[in-house]
Amino acid sequence: MGGEGLTEMRARRDDASRLVAVLLGLLALLAGLGASAAAPPPGNAATAPRVLATTLATPVTPVIAEHVAEGIRRAHDGGYAAYVIELDTPGGLVTAMRDIVRDILGSDVPVIVYVSPAGARAGSAGAIISLASHVLVMAPGTTIGAATPVGPQGEKVSGKIVNDAAAQAGALANLRGRDAGFAEEAVRDGRSIAVEEALRLGVADGRATDLAGALRVADGREVTVAGDRTVTVATADATVDRQDLSLFRRVLQVLVDPDLTFLLLVLGALGLIYELATPGVGIAGSVGAVSLVIALFSLSVLPVAAVGVLLLLLAVGLFAAEAFAPGTAGFALGGAVVLVLSSFFLFDSSEGVSVDPAVAVPLAAVLFVGAVLAGRLVMRTRHLPSTTTGGDLLTGRTVRLAEADGATGRAFTEGTWWSVRSTGATLVPGGDVTVVGLDGLTLVVEPQASAPEPQTRASESPAPGSAEVLPSAPPVGAQPGAPLDDDAATVVEPRVVPDPAVAVDERVVPGPAVVDRPAGTQQPITTGTAWGTERKDSA
């Protein structure tokens, strides 16, 4: 019994030990699972670095400079690990480039320039911006250099400008530990190198095929930011937030073109002048106003010279003078010459901004021809008969009556219908009258001497039994057309209109018709043959 009890006790103790071991194992497993659940996974947004990136595949302009400045401020305020510029540019304005370099040097956040995509370039102003960056990474097939300053049309600039740009490029290269010799050669000689040589010379810090690779190349590097602070770039596996150009800046970037701005200024000014001189439905004024507003947007970011603006206004004024005060085309010729001159002085050419003569000269020629033609048209219009309602413009004209009713009627002349009123004589439809005055919108007229006498209308026939005065019959033996004596010319006899109930036998008898007798003469004037009647009444 004793042995069996001891064995049983040992068996129970072993079971208890195994149970405790199992429980301890379960507790350890649960503790491990809890710890792993509490730890954030790699790349979690709570602890992983973030970078702000923008793409600049466009010439460097003041619009781009403002965009970069805004991005650097946003990266600083948002606690981003770096600000990344994906760059592909042929160059741009010197003023805009200097603004971007100034913002990079004053940034508290590391600025990484990634020349991409494959085949892209950081030329001219883009090369200087790349040299100023804290970290420079280039994609395969990309180039950097060719930073020689040139004029707007590619012409050489003064030696002072070249020396200043070379000194700045060398200073930036020394500041970032890059090859200062290449930096100066890129400015003085226009030297450009590919990514492989850039790596060999120490101009670029690395090569990457994509943005994630560029962030890995930059990760761990120590750079000096504003205030001479040294920071370590931590961008490996960083999340990327994008900063895109706003719609307003995209539109403004397209409009920031000196040639387009020049065209808009000229067209806008001419449109407003035309609208003020010939007010109408406002199309010219609206187009001119819109053109000027767009041009002012562009001028707000371009280096404008006051002399150029004054010359431009003078040119527009000369063109307007030719159009509205035409002469021998002298105003138009002066306007064309001054317009071309204004294109050279409108912008500060030392900043690499100017109007292309290939735009200014044809525009001046077109405006010259247009102003001359407009002036000739104005001159012809002034000599054309006017259709206004001024009495002195219609007085003396001969018009033909379309309608007449006694002393009033209507006539069509100068493209419109007029009411007509006679000075006293009866008007005849189809007759010619002479305008002697204007009363409001009514022409005051006199019938011409050759106008036919009015005929009695059927509706105005005398009533039966009434008397109608007719010339008396000619004397016996008188020939048609022969002159009458003084008494015969003036005697008239009443004619009784027969009653329709009484039969009348009438025969037409020819005789002379006396029309008029000149004042102060005794002999009447006969103009033709009148016709009297002989009448027999039968019961």
Q: Give the Cα separation of 342 and 311 in Å (integer).
A: 5
> pTM for this one?
0.57
**Residue 341 φ then ψ, to 5°:** -65, -40
What pLDDT does 64 receive?
95
- Enumerate the β-bridge partners of residue 467: 496
Report the pLDDT value the prediction gives residue 78, as an integer from 0 to 100. 94
Cα–Cα distance between 136 and 214 in angstroms, integer? 9
| Contact predicate 435/414, CB 8 Å | no
Q: Of 435, 519, 521, 514, whose CA–CA distance to 480 is shortest?
A: 514
pLDDT score, position 323: 75
* CB-facing half-sphere around the CA of 29: CA atoms within 13 A: 6
Tokens of 385: 């008969």
* pLDDT given for residue 489 in this prediction: 43
Q: How far is residue 203's CA from residue 185's CA, in Å, rounded to a whole number?
A: 13
Distance separating alpha carbons of residues 309 and 268, to the nearest angstrom: 13
Token look-up 């491990």 returns: 32
Are 150 and 354 within 8 A, CB to CB? no
pLDDT of residue 204: 97
What is the pLDDT at residue 169?
A: 96
- Residue-wise pLDDT for 32-60, tens only, equals 544 444 444 444 445 789 999 999 999 99
Task: Tell me the per-residue pLDDT of 421-444, one tens digit each, with 9 for 90 and over.
Answer: 998 888 888 888 988 888 777 888
Confidence (pLDDT) at 135: 97
Report the pLDDT value the prediction gives residue 275, as an integer from 0 to 100. 75
Q: What is the pLDDT of residue 416?
A: 76
Contacts of 161 (CB under 8 A, 6+ apart): 149, 350
- Identify which of 123, 127, 97 has the alpha carbon closest to the alpha carbon of residue 303: 97
Q: DSSP string covering 210-225, please?
A: SHHHHHHHHTT-EEEE
What's the pLDDT at 257?
84
261 Cβ neighbours under 8 A, 6+ residues apart: 255, 295, 298, 299, 302
Residues 6+ positions from 28 with CB-CB distance below 8 Å: none
Residues of the chain with pLDDT below 50 are 1-10, 33-45, 386-389, 451, 455-461, 465-473, 478, 480-497, 500-539
